[in-house]
């Protein structure tokens, strides 16, 4: 059995289509199809069924997955050892993150880590949903709720603060806000209610603030709405320094605290490279969030 065929098999199983797997593998879909057919012939078993939804694993295909992943880990470990990765980090690492963290924290963090490790390539996957690690969409995922199921390794990344905020010009040209009751005269910005993918993101329900009048599934878009003077919104403190005219409103009455969790596939705990990256990434993220929140408190 050829390892390269197993690698192609895993890509198709995770992407659920030949074309998507081909993009990951940087080859054409016809080549992917031929490699899968060759592996099926070698094993004497059908590994996929083609359906309108894509390529679905058969029972033999499902049984092959853990063996293929074990081979993947062994090859990765061998590559790390042979490349002598005892000093700097190298290779490609992909991180899936909520778009608020991806926009306002990770650029600085990942830039600093790359500066210290010139051979390292970091990709940031910013999505308003959970990242699927079992399909290998990313090496790491940052979540706002601690996962409780699946074959995952979870570590606390950092706590972070959120406050109600508004643009200075907006606040100067609209009715004053001295208490929670005063918010009813203001437009509220937040998530599209039926697109909140994690209960930890349901900020306004927790604060008792009025319903959302202007909404987006993107934290970055919400922040730009606040910055444009379109209304008030619950924003990450670490995003405020990027918008100098945005200030906190009723900071004592509306103050939320959340936690980011760093998650990876359980099999990856054997990778020294990913473990060393996780340690450097966690420390740098905590430091950057603390720095940005200190700046926000002073605005």
Confidence of residue 78 (pLDDT cuts 50, 70, 90): low
Torsion angle (degrees, nearest 10) of CA 138, 140, 141, 144: 180
In terms of DSSP H, where are the helices of 138-271?
Answer: 168-172, 203-207, 219-227
196-255 residue pLDDT tens = 878 888 887 766 666 788 999 999 999 999 999 999 999 999 999 999 999 999 999 999
Token pair listed for 151: 């074959």
Per-residue exposure over 201-214, b if at least 16 CB sit within 10 Å of its own CB, e if not: bebbeebebbebeb
Separation between Cα atoms, residue 252 and residue 245, nearest integer Å? 20
Q: In this structure, are residues 233 and 164 in contact, taking their beta carbons and an 8 Å threshold?
A: yes
123, β-bridge pairs: 94
Token pair listed for 33: 């199809």
Separation between Cα atoms, residue 151 and residue 266, nearest integer Å? 5
Closest CA to 187 of 178, 199, 175, 196: 175
What is the rounded average pLDDT of the residues 20-46? 89
Q: Which of 29-43, 76-90, 103-117, 182-196 has the highest mean pLDDT?
A: 103-117
Q: What pLDDT sits at residue 208? A: 67
Q: Say which residue, 134 or 279, is predicted with more confidence.
A: 279
Q: What pLDDT sits at residue 87? A: 56
For residue 156, give every residue at least 6 positions away whose Cβ sits within 8 Å of its Cβ, in sequence order, or none: 259, 260, 261, 262
Q: Is this prediction's pTM over 0.85?
A: no
What is the rounded average pLDDT of the residues 183-199? 87
DSSP state string for 79-140: HHHHTTTTSS--EEEEEEE-HHHHHHTHHHHHHHHHHH-TTEEEEEEE-SS---TTTTS-SE
What is the rounded average pLDDT of the residues 118-125? 91
What is the rounded average pLDDT of the residues 158-173? 96
Q: What pLDDT sits at residue 272? A: 80
């Amino acid at each position: 059995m050829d390892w390269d065929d197993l690698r192609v098999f895993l890509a198709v199983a995770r992407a659920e289509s030949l074309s998507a797997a081909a993009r990951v593998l940087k080859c054409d879909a016809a080549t992917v199809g031929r490699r899968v057919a060759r592996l099926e012939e070698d094993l004497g078993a059908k590994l996929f069924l083609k359906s309108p939804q894509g390529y679905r694993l058969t029972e033999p295909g499902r049984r092959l997955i853990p063996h293929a992943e074990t081979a993947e880990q062994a090859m990765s470990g061998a590559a790390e050892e042979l490349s002598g990765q005892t000093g700097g980090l190298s290779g490609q690492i992909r991180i899936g993150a909520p778009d608020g963290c991806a926009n306002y924290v990770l650029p600085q963090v990942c830039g600093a880590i790359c500066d210290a490790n010139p051979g390292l390539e970091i990709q940031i996957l910013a999505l308003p949903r959970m990242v699927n690690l079992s399909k290998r969409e990313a090496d790491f995922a940052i979540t706002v709720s601690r996962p409780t199921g699946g074959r995952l390794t979870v570590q606390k990344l950092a706590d972070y603060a959120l406050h109600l905020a508004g643009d200075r010009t907006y606040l100067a040209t609209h009715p004053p806000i001295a208490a929670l009751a005063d918010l009813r005269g203001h437009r509220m910005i937040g998530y599209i209610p039926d697109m909140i993918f994690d209960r930890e993101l349901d900020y306004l329900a927790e604060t008792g603030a009025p319903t959302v009048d202007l909404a987006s599934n993107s934290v970055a878009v919400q922040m730009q709405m606040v910055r444009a003077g379109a209304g008030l919104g619950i924003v990450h403190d670490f995003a405020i320094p990027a918008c100098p005219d945005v200030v906190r409103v009723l900071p004592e009455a509306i103050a939320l605290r959340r936690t980011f969790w760093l998650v990876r596939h359980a099999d990856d705990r054997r990778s020294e490279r990913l473990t060393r990256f996780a340690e450097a990434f966690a420390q740098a993220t905590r430091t950057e969030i603390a720095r940005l929140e200190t700046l926000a408190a002073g605005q």
